[in-house]
Amino acid sequence: MAETLDGSAYPQITRFTLGSSDVATQVVIPPSASKATVRFESNDGKLSMVGTDGGAINAAYIICAGNTTNEFSLLDGLGVSKGVTSFFVAAATGSTLCSVMIEG
């Protein structure tokens, strides 16, 4: 089930539980977001920029260690948003809490 952040205020945070391992959850963000931070509680997680909500996590992912902060910029070299509107997260093992924060 997709999680949506609308950018009505920055920073904006959501927390949700990922179910089965390797099942992608789409995180929808506004194109005005400039930075995203993802944290998986206790267990490792996976982060991909492509995928399908509810499908298997795309093979092009990075592993994010549990209990670490993973921050990435959505800007180009000129400080302009690239207009990324979503990314995908998945638990590496069973049920995992995921926190996402976006900044404008």
Q: Map out the domains of the chain with their CATH numbers.
A: 3-103 (2.60.120.10)
Q: What is the DSSP letter of 56?
A: B
Q: What is the pLDDT of residue 67?
A: 97
Distance CA 93, CA 84 (A): 27
- For 12, the token pair is 């904006």
Tokens of 94: 């069973």
- The answer to whether residues 101 and 36 touch, using CB atoms and an 8 Å cutoff, is yes
Please tell me the predicted confidence (pLDDT) of residue 83.
Answer: 74
pTM, two decimal places:
0.92
The pLDDT averaged over each successive group of 10 residues in the chain (104 residues) is 91 95 96 93 96 96 97 76 86 95 93
The C-alpha atoms of residue 6 and residue 92 are separated, in whole angstroms, by 27
Local structure of 43: helix, strand or coil: coil
